[in-house]
Structure 1
Amino acid sequence: MICGEGYLFELERRGYLQAGSFVPEVALDNPQALKQTYRDFMLAGSDVVLAFTYNGHREKMRIIGKEDLLEALNRQAIRLAKEVAQEHPQEEALVAGNISNTNLFNPDDPEAVEKTRSMFAEMIGWCKEEGVDFVNGETFYYYEEALIALEEIQKQDLPAVITFGLMGENILRDGYEVEEACRLLQEKGALVVGMNCFRGPATMQPYVEKIRNTVDGYVGALPIPYRTTEEHPTFFNLPDGGCACTIPTETTFPTSLDPLYTNRYELAEWAKEAQGIGVNYLGLCCGASPAMLREVAETVGRKTVNSKYSPDMEKHFLFGSDDTLQDHVTSYKTKA
C-alpha cells in the first residue's frame, strides 16, 4: 500500500499553513487548497487520502487559542478527504483518520496521561462517526503514548496503523527500542507498525530493517525526503554549510531545509530497498511532494493516474533524442 503524507510542509510551501505552530487550520480557512493537496497526492499514487488532522488536537488548539474550532476542523478535514477519495477515476481511495504525538504526554504525570487518552478518544470518535476506513496514529516518540492511541482506536473497532518518530537518541523516550515497541503493538492488535517522519531514508532504513526482522505482520516506513546522516540522524539539526545568509531560526528546520533534499531517484532507490526487505506500507512524510511520491509508487510497480506526466526527456530541445529536433540546438548541450 502507498500512503502519501507530507501535507504539513507542502501546505506551508503553498502558503496556506504557518510554520512553527503547524496547526492544520487550512481545513477551515482554505478548504479548496486542502482538497487540491489531497488530490495531488492521491493522483501521484497514494492509495490513502489521509485526513489532515495532524496537530489538530486539543493541546495544539489550546496553544493557539482556538479550542472552540477543534471538532469543526477535524470533521471538515475528514469530509474533504472523503470527497477527494471518491473522485479517483479508477478505484475509490481509502480514507484514514489521523492522530499524532500530543507533545503533552508524560509517563510520569497521570493527569497528562489521562488528558492524552481523552484527546485521542474524542478525535477517534469523530473519525468513527465520519466513516473513515482506518486510523493512522503517527509520529509517536513514546511507546506508551502509542499504546494509548492503539487502545482508543480499538475501542471504536477501527483498524490501526501506528508509526513512531525516532529522535536522535535512537531510542524511544520511555526507553523502548523501536523494534520492540512495534512488536508489542502488533501483538496487541495493530494492523501496521513502523516508522514515519524525523528521519530520511539513510537513517530510518536501518531501524526499519530491525522492525521487519522483529515483527510478523505488516510494516510501514514513511521517511522524510532529506539527507539525514549518522551524525545528524533527524531533520531537526541538519546543518547547511553552504548557506550564504543569516537564517532567522536556530537551525535549518523548518524553513531552510531546501538545499538538503534527497532527489526523487534517491527516494526510488530507498523504496526498492524497502520493498525488497518486505515493507508493505510505503510512503513519504514531511517535505515530500507529489512527484516524489509518484517516483516511489512507480518504483514498487505502480502505474499512477499521473504517471502520464512522469519525466521523458526524448522531446527536450537540448537533451532530447527525437530525430526531429534541431541539430544545431542539441549540439549546444555540452556547452550549456
Structure 2
Amino acid sequence: MSGEKSRAFLDRLDSDDPVLHAGGYLFEMERRGYLQAGAYVPEVVLEHPDALEELHAEFARAGTDIMLAFTYYGHREKLRLVGKEDLLEPLNREAVRIARRVVKRYPDCFVAGNICNTNVFDPGNAKSEAEVRGIFTEQLTWAAEEGVDVIVCETIAYLGEAKIAVEVAQDFDLPLVLGFAVHRSGKLRDFDGSVAEACKIVRDHGADVIGVNCHRGPATMMPLVEEIVGSVEANHVCAFPVAYRTTPEQPTFGALRDPDMPYPEQVPNGIPFPVGLDPFVCTRFEMGEFARRTKELGVRYVGGCCGTGPHHVRAMAEAMGRQTEASKYSPDMSKHYALGDHASLKQHNREYAGKMTAAGQL
C-alpha cells in the first residue's frame, strides 16, 4: 500500500464510523458560475482555483472525509472536445494540489484522485479498451505523483470499463472506490445480470469498495444498495446518490420532468437535465435520512454526488451522529422570532406570533 493514509482509509472501512464523501463539485461550480453546463470540463481548476479551494473547504467544514481532486471529466477525451488537450496534465496536477492545500487545514481528510466514465468505451473493441486504459493510466500517474491517498472511480456504466479501472488502480497500489451509474433500465450497458452481481464481480476483481453513484437520487438508489449489501460485504459498499428527488416512475435525474414548469430556451425540449433541476432538489433531511439508513445497513462509504451542497453533507454527517465544524450553525428554529419557543424569547414575541397566526400569515 502506498502510504500511511492509504492504510488508514482501509482500516476506516472496518470501523463503526462511515467514510463521508462530498462529490457535488461539477454541479456546484456550474451553479456558482465557474463552469459551463454541457461540456462540463473542470476548467475552474486553472481559471478560478481560489473558488474551487473555497468549495473544498466548505465541504470539509460540513464533514466530508474525502477531499476529492476535481478531475471528473478532466480526461483527454473531454478536453479534446473543447480544444484544450494542452491543459490536461496541468489541470490534473493542480486539482490534486488544491485538494492537498485544504487537507493541510483538515488533516483527517483523505485526498482522493478521481477518474470517471470516459465516454469512449466500446465492449469487445480492443482499440477502445486500450484508449480507456490509457486515459485512466495518465490521470492516475499524475494523481499518484502528486500524492493521493485513494482513488475514486465514478459514474461507470460498463462492467468492462470498471474492470479496466480496477486493473489500472492496482498498478499504482492505491485503494479504489468504484461506483456504477445505473440508468433507467436498472442494468449496466454490457451486462445482463443485476447490478449487485456486477458489484460482486468487480469486488472479486480487486476493487476495495464497490457500489453505486450518480444518476439516482436517494429514493431510487436505496433499493439497489440493499441488494448490493446482500452480495458484497456491507463495509466495502459505497453509495453516493444525486441530490434530486427521483421516483420509480422517473428513476434517474435525467428522467425527471415537470410538465407545469415553464422552461426557457436553454432547456432543450423542456428536458430539465441538467440546468433546470432546481424544483427536484432534495432537502437536507432527505440526504440525511439516506446516510442514516445506509449506516444501519453497514455501508461504510456514503455521500452525495451531483446536486449535493455543503448543507446536504452537514446533514448527512449529523444524521450519522457527528458534530462538524459547520454544526455550530445548524438550524435551531426554537430561536425563530415567530415560530420558536426558546426561553430567551420574550412574551411579546409569542403574542406577536399569535396575532400573525390568527391573521393567517403563518
TM-score (norm 2): 0.90
Q: 1:319, 1:333 within 8 Å by CA — same for their partners in 2?
A: no
| Alignment-derived partner of residue 47 in structure 1 | 65
| Alignment-derived partner of residue 268 in structure 2 | 249
C-alpha deviation, 1:289, in angstroms: 0.8
C-alpha deviation, 1:188, in angstroms: 2.1
Residues 202-243 of structure 1: CA distance to partner in whole angstroms, max 9, x if unpaired?
A: 111111111111012511100011111112111112001331
| Alignment-derived partner of residue 93 in structure 1 | 109
Q: Which runs of 5+ in 2 are unaligned?
A: 1-18
Q: Residues 140 and 332 of structure 1: is their aligned pair in 2 closer, same or farther, counting only changes over 3 Å?
A: farther
Residues 115-172 of structure 1: CA distance to partner in whole angstroms, max 9, x if unpaired?
A: 1100100001111101100110110000110110111011011110011110111100
C-alpha deviation, 1:302, in angstroms: 1.3
| Alignment-derived partner of residue 157 in structure 1 | 173
SS of aligned partner of 1:214: coil
* Equivalent residue in structure 2 for 1:311, among 315, 322, 331: 331
Does residue 1:128 correspond to 2:128, yes or no? no
User: What is the CA–CA distance in structure 1 between the aligned matches of 2:175 and 2:327, rounded to whole Å?
Assistant: 30
TM-score (norm 1): 0.96
Task: Name which of structure 1's ranges 172-181 and 34-43 shifts more when overlaid on structure 2.
Answer: 172-181
Aligned residues: CA RMSD: 1.3
Q: Which runs of 5+ in 1 are unaligned?
A: none
C-alpha deviation, 1:267, in angstroms: 1.7
Task: Name which of structure 1's ranges 283-292 and 187-196 shifts more when overlaid on structure 2.
Answer: 187-196
| Alignment-derived partner of residue 188 in structure 1 | 205
* Equivalent residue in structure 1 for 2:310, among 273, 280, 290: 290
Q: 1:45, 1:297 within 8 Å by CA — same for their partners in 2?
A: yes
SS of aligned partner of 2:243: coil
Q: 2:263, 2:276 within 8 Å by CA — same for their partners in 1?
A: no
SS of aligned partner of 1:202: helix
| Alignment-derived partner of residue 34 in structure 1 | 52
* Equivalent residue in structure 2 for 1:276, among 272, 296, 300: 296
User: What is the CA–CA distance in structure 1 between the aligned matches of 2:195 and 2:104, rounded to whole Å?
Assistant: 36
Q: 1:320, 1:330 within 8 Å by CA — same for their partners in 2?
A: no
Residues 277-329 of structure 1: CA distance to partner in whole angstroms, max 9, x if unpaired?
A: 11110100000110011101110111111111111112211212124342342
| Alignment-derived partner of residue 262 in structure 1 | 282
| Alignment-derived partner of residue 57 in structure 1 | 75
* Equivalent residue in structure 1 for 2:352, among 325, 329, 332: 329
Does residue 1:17 correspond to 2:31, yes or no? no
Task: Name which of structure 1's ranges 239-248 and 149-158 shifts more when overlaid on structure 2.
Answer: 239-248
User: What is the CA–CA distance in structure 2 between the aligned matches of 1:332 and 1:68, rounded to whole Å?
Assistant: 65
Q: 1:5, 1:286 within 8 Å by CA — same for their partners in 2?
A: yes
C-alpha deviation, 1:244, in angstroms: 3.1
User: What is the CA–CA distance in structure 2 between the aligned matches of 1:332 and 1:271, rounded to whole Å?
Assistant: 40
| Alignment-derived partner of residue 212 in structure 1 | 229
C-alpha deviation, 1:177, in angstroms: 2.2
Paired residue type of 1:288: T
| Alignment-derived partner of residue 320 in structure 1 | 340
What is the aligned residue count?
334
SS of aligned partner of 1:136: strand
Q: 2:338, 2:350 within 8 Å by CA — same for their partners in 1?
A: no
